[in-house]
Amino acid sequence: MTQSRKVFGRRQILIVEDEMINREILGNLLAQEYETVFAADGDEAIEKMKEYRQTLSLVLLDLIMPKKNGLEVLTYVKNDPQLKQIPVIVMTSDAKSEVESLHLGAADFIPKPYPQPDVIMARVRRSIELSEDRMIINATERDPLTELYNREYFYRYAEQFDIHHPTVQTDAIVLDIYHFHTINERFGTKYGDDVLRLMARKLREFAAPSGGIVCHREADAFMVYAPHGLDYIEMLASVSNALNNYVGSHNRVRLRMGVYDTVDRELPIERRFDRASEACDTVKSGYSGNIGFFDNAMHEKELYAEQLIEDFPRAIETKQFAVYYQPKYNVQAESPALVSAEALVRWNHPTLGCVSPGEFIPLFEENGLIRKLDNYVWNEVAAQVKAWKARYGAAVPVSVNVSRADIFDPMIVDTLKTIIQKNGLSNKDLLLEITESAYTKNAEQIIKTVNALRELGFLIEMDDFGTGYSSLNMISALPIDVLKMDMVFIQQAFAKTQDTKLIEIIIDIAKYLSVPVVAEGVETREQMLALKEMGCDIIQGYYFSKPLPPGEFEALWEGTRNVDN
């Protein structure tokens, strides 16, 4: 974006006039209020505009001059990004040139012979005021990197488009660059900024002729709002080609696009682009299938998600969420021994039936409800462990999930401490599971909180190990007491390839850290024996038991206690 010109003190004006007497007349008139600079022909005018571009507030431009005439200067300025923001008033005795001058970007017109000095001064003041007002508006509504609308003003202009074109069908489009962060990492942020500016320019060039508007939403994400019928396939190809011509054949840029076409005008503008973003997120790879479309299935999914969110408070209040317990067995003992359990939540919805955790857990993680659900589960588990202790005089430790959102709750330590004390439990009765991916984002804060929990006596299990891409150096510094392998590794390792090298590496890492390792998702005796042979300590999965409601878990536990006795 062009740097701000001088707006405090005396504004600077460039007078471009080949007649010396006219330069003197204008110079003496304007010198009362303004600092003046002079040029005698079109070429000198362009040189002076470039030299003083950061301080010029206005140019008074004669049209009939040697070398380059005024219209040629206007054409040059219009096509120069650094000069086109400087307002220009043309001066000529040829009244027929007024319209052409305005089409080329002139801000106003002063006839020759010159009108009264007050008229000239009024036109100069007004042109400068309008230019400076426009600069302030642009600075407010435009993204400084790309000069596109920022998100807030883009939504406002989209609403205005709807008001002025109530019968025109429109499309909401979202685009981003697949793995854009690698461009910044490999070539630097300046190079990445150049890519974004080029993308912005190509999108604007493509959308503007149809009346479409473009926004730089954030990072590498852009939004387009345009009349229905814009050839977005051609737009994607055009922008992609421009970017790849810029970066070269060895550094291909791959774009993703999400389209919500023929938008529902009853939806707020933000929701329309949320739908386009959902469609964009369905494009998992930039190598094929680069365009995703919001369709009826996605709409049904959206409505379903909204119902789950709406029903959540009532579900908590009426205890629709049931906690199940999946046993964990120590397989390094002489015979497998039940040593602990994992708490897993199920939603028994009154109209939807059993809602899968795979549907509501990610949804609640996204909108922040997960903290309230986790708190509910912690209390339910603590109460159940208390009941088992009262009935049997003992209880197995139970693992409960602690989400990343929980970790950033400043009251989490006090909350867990209160739950333990209220139920008369030991801190080792609740094992806290935290996913590895949580540690990889703002690790310093995570580690600080986890250390505070461990100081109280809680044991920490790193869940889904292998999915967060921690470095070995980072892992050695993490405060954990148990390493838990993601079940995907188990499933892949015991597939047709029978390649267990990755499992062996994870078990070696656990040995290096001097912590036990848990394998979940174990389904067969062969898998159990192989994992035991590799040195896995604890196994969880359908081979031993599916997740059980409290009564069935009690029966299983009682059976193992009787065997032990």
Q: How confident is the model at residue 489 (pLDDT cuts 50, 70, 90)?
A: confident
In a domain, residue 302? The reply is no
User: Does residue 436 surpass a pLDDT of 90?
Assistant: no
549 CB-near residues (< 8 Å, 6+ apart): 322, 324, 325
pTM: 0.60
| Residues 405 and 342 both lie in one domain | yes
The conformation of residue 265, written as its DSSP 8-state character, comes to T
Compute the average pLDDT of residues 236-259. Answer: 86
Q: Which range among 189-198, 281-290, 298-307, 455-464 shows the weakest confidence by mean pLDDT? A: 281-290
User: Does residue 2 surpass a pLDDT of 50?
Assistant: no
% of the chain at pLDDT higher than 90: 62
462 neighbors 520 (Cβ within 8 angstroms):
no
Q: What local confidence, expressed as pLDDT, does residue 528 receive?
A: 93
| Residues 334 and 358 both lie in one domain | yes
Q: What local confidence, expressed as pLDDT, does residue 477 receive?
A: 67
Compute the average pLDDT of residues 476-483. Answer: 81
Write out pLDDT tens, residues 403-418: 988 988 899 999 999 9
Q: What local confidence, expressed as pLDDT, does residue 439 receive?
A: 67
| Residues 484 and 402 both lie in one domain | yes
| Residues 171 and 109 both lie in one domain | no
User: Does residue 239 surpass a pLDDT of 70?
Assistant: yes
Q: Which range among 41-45, 170-174, 438-442, 555-559 shows the weakest confidence by mean pLDDT? A: 438-442
CATH number for the domain spanning 42: value is 3.40.50.2300
The range of the structural domain enclosing residue 52 comes to: 12-141
| Residues 54 and 86 both lie in one domain | yes
In a domain, residue 503? The reply is yes
216 neighbors 200 (Cβ within 8 angstroms):
yes
User: Does residue 438 surpass a pLDDT of 90?
Assistant: no
Q: What local confidence, expressed as pLDDT, does residue 382 receive?
A: 97
The conformation of residue 481, written as its DSSP 8-state character, comes to S
% of the chain at pLDDT higher than 70: 92
Picking from 78, 82, 80, the residue whose alpha carbon sits closest to that of residue 90 is 78
| Residues 63 and 169 both lie in one domain | no
User: Does residue 544 surpass a pLDDT of 80?
Assistant: yes
| Residues 270 and 353 both lie in one domain | no
Write out pLDDT tens, residues 100-156: 898 898 999 999 889 999 999 999 999 999 988 888 877 788 888 998 999 999 999
In a domain, residue 305? The reply is no
User: Does residue 565 surpass a pLDDT of 60?
Assistant: no
Quick one: tokens of 203? 């999108």
Distances in whole angstroms, Cα of residue 213 to Cα of each of 86, 147, 302, 333: 24, 12, 26, 68
| Residues 351 and 492 both lie in one domain | yes
Compute the average pLDDT of residues 371-393. Answer: 95
Say whether 344 sits in a helix, a strand or coil. Answer: strand
| Residues 136 and 227 both lie in one domain | no
| Residues 128 and 38 both lie in one domain | yes
Q: How confident is the model at residue 319 (pLDDT cuts 50, 70, 90)?
A: very high
Compute the average pLDDT of residues 445-453. Answer: 87
308-316 contacts: CB < 8 A, separation 24 or more?
Answer: 308/355, 308/359, 308/360, 308/363, 309/363, 309/367, 309/369, 311/349, 312/364, 312/369, 312/372, 312/373, 315/347, 315/349, 316/372, 316/373, 316/376
CATH number for the domain spanning 248: value is 3.30.70.270
Q: What local confidence, expressed as pLDDT, does residue 563 receive?
A: 53
Last residue of a domain, one of 294, 328, 357: 294
Report how far residue 548's alpha carbon sits from residue 482's, in angstroms, rounded to the nearest whole number. Answer: 23
Report how far residue 205's alpha carbon sits from residue 394's, in angstroms, rounded to the nearest whole number. Answer: 72
Last residue of a domain, one of 85, 107, 141: 141
Domain count, the chain: 3
In a domain, residue 313? The reply is no
